[in-house]
Structure 1
Amino acid sequence: MRLSHSFQVMCCGVALALFAGCTSQDDTRTFDEKDSQASAEAEHAHEHDHEHDHGPNGGHLLEVGEEQYHVEVVFDNDKRTLTAFILGPDAKSAHPIAGETIDFDLEVGDKEHEIPLAAKPLDGEKDGKSSRFVAEGKAIPESIKAESDLNGHFHLDIGEDHFHVDLHHEGHDHDHDDHDHDHEKTEPKKEETKKEEPKKTEDKPADKE
């Protein structure tokens, strides 16, 4: 009887050891290059989705530079208004900038139609700065019926930097060769310089003999 009991205990011990070994093997996995690639793809997909997020005012969210700032675009066809909100890097907080207007170049075929948006500061914004810019009425072409009709780019001056901020929707054939601008490019603001006209030279009359 003792031998039989000892044998049963030994069998149970072996079974438990085998079960623990199998569980340990199943739960342990090393990460390889495929895991790193999958992680990178997931991060890229998240960044791509972020470009099409909606801002705090329910508008289309655009990145400015390397997410230094954001522009939220809101179009209201009933009121015939186009509003651009300048936001900070968190894409939520208002970021007032200096300037009376910003420009949106609407792309119509191979031509551009400039739409100026005038500063309309939010409550509490002062010192000549505004985070809200609005175009309304006749400033907006009648062909624009929805946000999806807005294809073009904003000209944005923030501090000493100048940005081209593109707004393009799916299905819009955007040819980079037709437009001389870069996506999300930061350029120093250029001071206007007057070109000097070439001096006119007059022939001296020949000496009379």
Structure 2
Amino acid sequence: MKKEILLIRHTTPEVEKGICYGQLDLDVTANFEQEASEIAQSINGFNPDVIFSSPLQRCRKLANHLFPNHSIDIDERIIEMNFGQWEGQKWEGIERFTIEQWSNNFLNQSPPNGEKFSELLARTNNFFEFLENSNKKYLAVVTHSGVIRSALHKYLAIPPNNIFNLDLHYGCIIKITFKGNNYYQVEFIKG
């Protein structure tokens, strides 16, 4: 059975540049309507059977804007990575050695009281397997760059150390089409 999943990253969050945020529940900027309209044009009337959203408001707002006549399923598995004690801090204010130590082993080491990237991969892998096994044909997922990166890791076999080389802008859209027998395609609709 052919199945299409649209992965949609939230619009620009209302946060000062250089701030570490993952699970910080940020609102969106005043440009939300314009950004959301551009996303709506890019998905060109895509009418999903089910819509999933991260519980964070920057995703819920976009999901409700794009699909006002649908109910939205909130799923904790597609929340952004937890940066623990670093959440809300300026990156430049975090001890350099600590960041370097983490970035050299982010797969297996977490920020203080945060989440390892391997933990993000495990919970999102569980979510994507759930979608693969769903009897729904058209699905939309409004989420975060970390979750989208983990999907690209899964479906394109991009090594975790290279996954952050992808520039996933706010409002990016990626379509994964399953065509049966473990055959699928990944299409970047909006950068």
What band does the TM-score fall into relative to the shorter chain? under 0.3
Tell which structure's C-alpha radius of gyration is larger: 1
**Greater relative CO (CA pairs within 8 A, separation 6+):** 2
Greater share of residues in strand:
1
Greater share of residues in helix:
2
TM-score, scaled to structure 1: 0.24
TM-score, scaled to structure 2: 0.26
